[in-house]
């Protein structure tokens, strides 16, 4: 998308579509855990299909991963990790410290399960890719994952407060070398290191 939108438009649209995503996120979680009988499931399915039909009349064909505002910021509405409008995203809120550390605190529920009661190892990889990559991102100069190495120390529990954090180890030309981890209050569960690569040309 080449159009740039004023930040005020984004705020207005987030107030409109954010709560919709929240409702869908809640439905996702409940739909996995429900033991409802066939009549209840059929009635709920009718409502869900009707809501989807109404919303689809005006659905854009293109996804919403990144949109740019006129003040130079980008907003990742549809991003699979942080997208406010994406019910698949937890969504993580990414914080940046003055010293360059990036962190996020979150709890993962039923939709992120692998082993019973535990976070899917690949979901840990998804989150660490994003959080490590966020150390390398600069306005108008996105960084792409080159290499990502994950070491799983122990299982990560669903329903427990978790923290992901990362920082830059060094920068070598277009390459940013970062390390990070996911931890619960007993310590790290997964450690990661990654190389993230800036595109040669700043994106327009």
Tell me which residues in 16-55 interact with its own copies (CB under 8 A). 16-17, 19-21, 23-24, 26-28, 30-38, 40-41, 43-45, 47-52, 54-55
Nearest alpha carbon to residue 137 among 105, 94, 180, 183:
94
Instruction: List the one residue from 69, 94, 101, 152 that touches its own copies (CB under 8 A).
Output: 152
Q: List the Cα angle 86/107/36 in 5-degree steps.
A: 70
Query: Is position 171 an interface residue for its own copies (rule: CB under 8 A)?
Result: no
Region 89-108 residues binding its own copies, contact defined as CB under 8 A: none
Which residues in 107-146 contact its own copies (CB under 8 A)? Answer: 109-118, 120-123, 125-130, 133, 142, 144-146
Judged by CB under 8 A, the chain residues 49 through 88 that form the site for its own copies are 49-52, 54-66, 77-81, 83, 85-88
Tokens describing residue 188:
């790290």
67-69 and 4-5 beta bridge pairing: parallel
Q: If you write DSSP's letter for every residue of 63-99 in order, what string do you get?
A: --S-EEETTS-EE-SS-TTT-TT-TTS-PPPPEE-TT
Shortest distance (Å) from residue 98 CB to its own copies: 26
By beta-carbon proximity to its own copies, the closer residue of 16 and 98 is 16
Q: How far apart are CA 68 and CA 78, in angstroms?
A: 13
Question: Judged by CB, which is closer to its own copies: 27, or 174?
Answer: 27
60 vs 201, which CB is nearer to its own copies? Answer: 60
Contact 195, 179 (CB under 8 A): no
């Amino acid at each position: 998308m080449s159009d740039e939108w004023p930040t005020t438009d984004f705020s207005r649209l987030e107030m409109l579509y954010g709560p919709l995503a929240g409702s869908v996120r809640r439905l996702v979680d409940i739909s996995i855990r429900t033991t409802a009988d066939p009549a209840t499931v059929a009635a709920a399915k009718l409502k869900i299909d009707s809501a989807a039909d109404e919303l689809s009349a005006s659905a854009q064909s293109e996804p919403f991963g990144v949109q740019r505002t006129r003040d130079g910021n980008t907003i990742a509405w549809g991003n699979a990790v942080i997208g406010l409008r994406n019910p698949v995203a937890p969504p993580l809120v990414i914080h940046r410290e003055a010293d360059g550390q990036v962190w996020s605190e979150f709890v993962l529920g039923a939709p992120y399960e692998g082993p019973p009661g535990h976070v899917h190892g690949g979901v840990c990889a998804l989150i660490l890719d994003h959080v490590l990559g966020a150390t390398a991102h600069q306005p108008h100069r996105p960084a792409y994952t080159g290499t990502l190495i994950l070491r799983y120390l122990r299982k990560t529990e669903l329903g427990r407060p978790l923290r992901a954090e990362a920082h830059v180890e060094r920068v070598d030309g277009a390459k940013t070398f970062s390390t990070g981890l996911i931890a619960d209050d007993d310590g790290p569960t997964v450690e990661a290191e990654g190389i993230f690569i800036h595109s040669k040309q700043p994106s327009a």
